[in-house]
Amino acid sequence: MGARILVVEDEEALTTLLRYNLDAEGYDVETVGRGDDADTRLKERVPDLVVLDWMLPGLSGIELCRRLRARPETKQLPIIMLTARGEESERVRGLATGADDYIVKPFSVPELLARVKGLLRRTSPERLATILTFGDIELDREKRRVARSSRPIDLGPTEYRLLEFFLEHPGRVFSREQLLDSVWGRDIYIDERTVDVHIGRLRKLLNLDGEQDPIRTVRGAGYALDDRFDKAAE
């Protein structure tokens, strides 16, 4: 599962170009053409990075950026702002409003890809890491292998993606709905109880030798990787 990128851009040709190239790099790309729609989407789901155009219908990129920084869920969200040439003084305003980086149009695709990668490396290295670890659990993305204290664990594809997702966000609590959205994909309708079934399977396989359960059930909220577990296992 690649890092999730939301592209907010109203020029269709550019949107298509960005989607194609980011997709080819293995990112999970979503595109929105209006600032207000992006605002709504970002309240529902927070990606790993946003490529945000300055001039947008509905709500300007700068105003959206300001709103995102004002909300706790998106305060730290990595944002790359796209600005048109001649907006030099505006660019400074863009950074002051809280964008992490900016690119002046027209830009080359490799340049944008390099900026995206650089920013993700700084902000979410776990999304680019090949091997994810948590306590005595290790997941190797290249080999698609999971082990606990060097004991290999054979997970089904859904359990694997669930564990990978948890390892990318250790300690964070996710509702069943959020897990369905992130692990199964948001266009598929699946009953929320399916999540419980797969969590149950994942737990069984992870804790086969009667080890401590790394997954925490948060009553009324959902599931999380237990951050106390990581510390206890160190």
Instruction: Collapse the DSSP code of 108 into the 3-class scheme (helix H, G, I; strand E, B; otherwise coil) and give the result.
Output: coil
Which member of 55, 59, 104, 233 binds Ca ion (CB under 5 A)? Answer: 55
CB 105 within 8 A of CB 53: no
205 CB-near residues (< 8 Å, 6+ apart): 153, 154, 155, 159
Please identify, using beta-carbon distances, which residue of 102 and 229 lies nearer to Ca ion: 102
Q: Is 232 helix (H, G, I), strand (E, B) or coil?
A: helix
Interface residue with Ca ion, options 10, 101, 138, 181 (CB under 5 A): 10
Nearer to Ca ion, 13 or 188 (CB): 13
State the number of CA atoms in the 13 A half-sphere of 192 facing the CB. Answer: 9
Work out whether 53 is an interface residue with Ca ion (CB under 5 A).
yes
Within 10 angstroms of residue 62's Cβ, the number of other Cβ atoms is 22
Question: Which of residues 10 and 126 has its CB atom nearest to Ca ion in the complex?
Answer: 10
Using the structure block, give the residue that is written with the tokens 């997954």.
215
What is the smallest separation between the CB atom of 11 and Ca ion, expressed in angstroms?
6
d(C-alpha 228, C-alpha 222), whole Å:
17
Residue nearer to Ca ion on the CB measure, 12 or 111? 12
- Least Cβ distance, residue 95 to Ca ion (angstroms): 18
Of the pair 15, 74, the CB lying nearest Ca ion is at 15
Q: Which residues within the stretch 70-89 sit at the binding site for Ca ion (CB under 5 A)?
A: none
| 28: contact with Ca ion by CB under 5 A | no
Q: Which residues bind Ca ion (CB under 5 A)?
A: 10, 53, 55
